Structure 1
Amino acid sequence: MNTSGKKSNVRYVMLGFMGAAMLVNFIDRATLSVAAPVMSKELGFSAADMGWAFSAFGWAYMLCQIPGGILLDKFGSRLVYGLAMIVWSVFTFLQGAVYLFPSAFVMLFVFRFLMGMAESPATPASSRLSVQWFPNNERGFATSIYQTAPYVALGVFTPILSYVITLFSWHYVFFSAGLLGIVFGLFWLGFVRDPLKHKSINNEELAYIRNGGGIPELGSATQQKQAISWQQVKNMCANRMMVGVYIGQFCLTSITWFFFTWFPTYLYQDKGMSIIKVGLAAAIPAIAGFVGGIVGGMLSDYLLRKGYSLTFSRKLPIVLGMLLSCSIIIANYTQSAPLVIFVMSLAFFAKGFSNLGWCVLSDTSPKEALGLAGGIFNTFGNVAGILTPLVIGFIIQATGSFDWAIIYIGSMGLIGVISYLFIVGKLERLTLDAAPGTPAVDAVLHKS
């Protein structure tokens, strides 16, 4: 451990690793949406087929959230996340070779399903790491950094991967993304450590994290561990505050999955853009989403530092952003490509601005079960990962148009606003013994 008197800032190095890991995560998720317009035509997949292929990831991702959370609480984020990254990247790579199998569609579904299983601990691991490494008044910013990875993946890598298709073929989208993930997974295992085991951190930084509400001891031998019963899990699922947060996350994830699945196809088919133009056009809303995510997280932390309550500081960006995301419906009333891109950019900026669900989870989950709580939260949220691509696929199949699909996505913002305003209530940290209707509060952490 570093013994210098000046407070170290190792937490920002770890934040860089967290952001890069989430970037790799979402590049792998985005590969199919980038390849889909060309891949589906070459392999003869219908809109409904692609809906099922897009949803395969969501089925596995949702079903494995709770088991993934249990693994995180038992073995820690460093090991579980690193190994998971290598495994999901292997399945990403294999998607580029589905044409070699007797049924390309079946193997695509299987590989996407297995990739979803392997990625299930990713976001809960980041949430858990943010509690270990950051005090409360920096956690909104930390969360915004790793939660903006989807926007960077879309904004920077969609044009790059689209260009790869024009140079080579859709197969190399999967090959290149898979290799990137495998290499970074090895780097993660080599360099990432928990706070108490990192050689460069000093006592001053540990005290700063701890006194600010962070839990650097999380998962260490010094932390007193408590057995978790299924009744306590049920209490977390049934708590009114958490139910409202789950609904809000479902709505946000629905918007995310539209952009990560059908958006390039929407631009290609509905707006008649070429693959190169699709890559460039899809990047603009993603950049707006990145900016929105950073601004929303910084605003939330600023309000907290100014003495506003945790509830007001977290809810204000969420409610305002979700309300503004409804503007996506305007795209149905114009054929102007620049206006469509502007509307999509505004909606994605708003989605990023409101994307503080994981920060809320870090603020409110029982400190004894942050991995499990993250798994439960992501399970409910990622039902959208199944429903969104399927619903949109069937809408297109039935109507031949994206109009009702855009209305469906726009309505998610309004539902999320209603949930946070009328269901969530006051944000408080739960204990494992919290009753379903009235959250018990950990007094020490609540005061902090």
Structure 2
Amino acid sequence: MLEKSTKKRYNILAMVFFTVVINYLDRSNISVAAFALSDELELSTVQMGYIFSAFAWTYAILQIPGGIMADKIKTRFLYPILMAFWSIATLIQGVANSFLLLIGLRASIGIFEAPSYPINNLIVTRWFPDNERASAIAVYTSGQYLGLAFLTPVLTWIQSQMGWRGLFIVSGIIGLVWALVWYIFYRDPKEHKSISQNELKHIADGGGLIDLKSNVKGKPKEKFEMSDLIQVFKYRKLWGIYIGQFCLGATAIFFLTWFPTYLVKYRGLDFLQSGFLASIPFLAAFAGILLSGFSSDYLVKKGYSNEIARKGPIVIGMLLSTAIIGANYTEDNTLVILFLAIAFFGNGLASIAWVFVSLMAPKNLIGLTGGAFNFIGGLSAVVVPVVIGYLVKDGDFKPALFFIGGVAFLGFFCYTFVIGKVERIVPKS
């Protein structure tokens, strides 16, 4: 009798999805709190720009060490420890009373969230065959959009009832609970007690790296070598996806930091109303990422090349992201939201870019390549909030939107002309 094939990889994907929701909840709740927080603590737009970017200082710097950790430490243990610590830092923000303390807490969240996306990519590389991977990446990445689309109105309501301090405390408690859930239920494919051999074979035969283990028992640990770091920075095509990720992040970080302030302070919307209107671009981005992921895998299954199936949605998405500039040419708030929704829909389309790490990174350096990829991408979260803070200090937000649109166009150029053929890099010995 044939063994019935299981679908445990989808359970794992659901766990990664919810982890991403919490991850982005703790990154972006500062944007909801910003207007009230800056008023109470008397912080300027420049100071708020530094607070917004403080998370990214440590997050970007620690991407490469985070990628190394993802490769070397068992995911079941590493991830919940990180979740617990970034949730505690989130909770403590609820008692912060100074600019410097907020800077320190945001930077500490960046420290503990730094390995998260290299870990997510590693999990999907272990659990999914090649022709399902873009869809899997789209699903978990959509957590940052769908979660924020539905949570932004909830977060604005929580703040209206409990204040901005209560908002941080509630966010932190949610993350602590989820850290425990992760430790109890997550396993790598070959350690999962209820996975069928048929599912393991399906994953492995399709290119899923089920034997890609961190700290395999009974085998000596592979030591990190400086030559590994050189490998992930020596190829032009990898630089293409690194710079492209920076450009992708520029649009996303605007929505995760300055967007609510833009609606309330510069467009004159009511705070609670802004929470509901802010959800529209996030829903558009959610639709974009799912459309991108599933259509990309569909094209792969139909025999289209990676240049069409993988690059196509990203190139189109980066071009659509330049639509954010259109908000500068209207006073109609409905059109403003429309332009921003188109831009963030494009950002969603381009957000399967992690699939290039899975497809192009040297097999033994997937975590490290993911760390380098997210390091360069994370620099956008260092640069963009501060640049916007300076650009809008005189009360005009138009230069900031021109800046975001211009960076998106640079991303379009990188994915169109710099990456070249999409293929796995095999380092020469």
- TM-score (norm. length: structure 2): 0.97
**AA aligned opposite 1:218:** L
Give the direction of change, closer, same or farther, for the CA distance of 1:216–1:276 in structure 2 (3 Å limit): same
How far did 1:9 drift?
0.4
How far did 1:266 drift?
0.3
4+ long deviations beyond 6 Å: 222-225
What's the counterpart of residue 330 of structure 1? 326
How far did 1:76 drift?
2.4
**Mapping 1:157-172, distance limit 5 Å:** 157-172=151-166
Select which of 392, 412, 418 maps to 1:423. 418
What's the counterpart of residue 376 of structure 1? 372
What's the counterpart of residue 153 of structure 1? 147
User: In 1, are the aligned partners of 2:249 and 2:377 still within 8 Å (CA)?
Assistant: yes
How far did 1:152 drift?
1.9
What's the counterpart of residue 202 of structure 1? 196
User: In 2, are the aligned partners of 1:236 and 1:434 still within 8 Å (CA)?
Assistant: no
**AA aligned opposite 1:370:** I
Q: What do the CA deviations read for 1:95-152 (whole angstroms, capped 9, x no partner)?
A: 11102xxxx1100000000010000011110000000000011000000011112212
Secondary structure of the 1:249 match is helix
Select which of 118, 121, 132 maps to 2:115. 121
Give the direction of change, closer, same or farther, for the CA distance of 1:222–1:310 in structure 2 (3 Å limit): farther
- In structure 2, stretches of 5+ residues that fail to align are none
How far did 1:84 drift?
0.4
Give the direction of change, closer, same or farther, for the CA distance of 1:222–1:334 in structure 2 (3 Å limit): farther
How far did 1:153 drift?
2.9
Moved more, 61-70 or 40-49: 61-70
Q: Distance in 2 between matches of 1:190 and 1:97?
A: 30
Moved more, 55-64 or 309-318: 309-318
How far did 1:311 drift?
2.5
**Mapping 1:170-189, distance limit 5 Å:** 170-189=164-183
What's the counterpart of residue 438 of structure 1? none
Q: Distance in 2 between matches of 1:63 and 1:6?
A: 46
- In structure 1, stretches of 5+ residues that fail to align are 436-448
How far did 1:202 drift?
1.1
What's the counterpart of residue 413 of structure 1? 408
**Mapping 1:431-442, distance limit 5 Å:** 431=426, 433-434=427-428
**Matching of residue 273 in structure 1 with residue 281 in structure 2:** no
Give the direction of change, closer, same or farther, for the CA distance of 1:4–1:69 in structure 2 (3 Å limit): farther
User: In 1, are the aligned partners of 2:321 and 2:408 still within 8 Å (CA)?
Assistant: yes
Moved more, 232-241 or 418-427: 232-241
**AA aligned opposite 2:86:** W
User: In 2, are the aligned partners of 1:80 and 1:121 still within 8 Å (CA)?
Assistant: no
Q: Distance in 1 between matches of 2:367 and 2:409?
A: 29
Secondary structure of the 2:5 match is coil
User: In 2, are the aligned partners of 1:7 and 1:202 still within 8 Å (CA)?
Assistant: yes
What's the counterpart of residue 192 of structure 1? 186
- TM-score (norm. length: structure 1): 0.93
Aligned length: 427
Q: Distance in 2 between matches of 1:151 and 1:420?
A: 22
Identity of aligned residues (%): 39
How far did 1:235 drift?
2.3
How far did 1:224 drift?
8.9
Q: Distance in 2 between matches of 1:233 and 1:420?
A: 23
